[in-house]
Structure 1
């Protein structure tokens, strides 16, 4: 990541840019809606109020160029260890191919380690084969088979 990028907690003003990044691929384009829809702001308020959730943005020259959500999960397994779940990792089209995604994941791993998490985990849609190679190059192992049940 040769350019100067800073990481910070997202604000409500960042929500439209975040939603635009979520929608900027074939899967997201089918799932996302108007970035100004009040449901996004309601979801942001819930995330922002929860000390176990962090919505993070990567910023370069005042522009939001990346986002990810970190959720800290308590559990009894592994002697009660906390896990960090990384979700919704996106890099703006204008910033791709410059190492930002790698920098974002390293930042998240360092943050989880500093918090005392025993593990960092993430999921990636089966169709995202490039993302799977990317996460593998960062040391993540495809260790589980995931299942989802849509309720809407």
Structure 2
């Protein structure tokens, strides 16, 4: 597996993966041509030194997965850095082959390399199998998350 930062040309394939499940279909707008809002968002992410949009490729350089890491600087924890992992997706034909574990192993090491004191994630309660997977990786539920959508 090859891990690299996403480029603008990767965005259609990444959005296609993000839209390729029951929840993603309700919030993403994958079409050709891709709506400009995705390109604009990519440019913002790419310009931010604390954001890493990652592409995962197989040995044939096909995109098989993606994730985003955000590094959040805090005053708490003696000025610690917290890593947030989001938008983890694996192409449907690659699921169940151990790719998720490899992706998380890479992300955890990347967070350590950036001197983060912890890595965290959120998962929709409608994804019980994902929550079970994260627990098997050693993640524990420590807080109750809340959102206010606008």
Q: Which residue, 11, 16, 22 being the options, matches 1:26?
A: 22
TM-score, normalised via structure 1 length = 0.95
- CA deviation vs aligned residue, 1:102-126 (integer Å, no higher than 9, x gap): 1111100001101111000000001
Counterpart secondary structure, 1:18: helix
2:143 corresponds to 1:144: yes
Unaligned runs of 5+ in 2: none
Unaligned runs of 5+ in 1: none
Q: Give the structure 2 partner of residue 51 of structure 1.
A: 49
TM-score, normalised via structure 2 length = 0.96
Distance 2:137 2:9 in 1: 31
Distance 2:121 2:93 in 1: 24
Distance 1:141 1:34 in 2: 33
Distance 2:102 2:61 in 1: 18
**Structure 1 consecutive aligned stretches of length 4 or more whose deviation exceeds 4 Å:** none
- CA deviation vs aligned residue, 1:25-47 (integer Å, no higher than 9, x gap): 11000000035110000000000
Q: Give the structure 2 partner of residue 75 of structure 1.
A: 74
Q: Which residue, 4, 11, 22 being the options, matches 1:8?
A: 4
Q: Give the structure 2 partner of residue 103 of structure 1.
A: 102
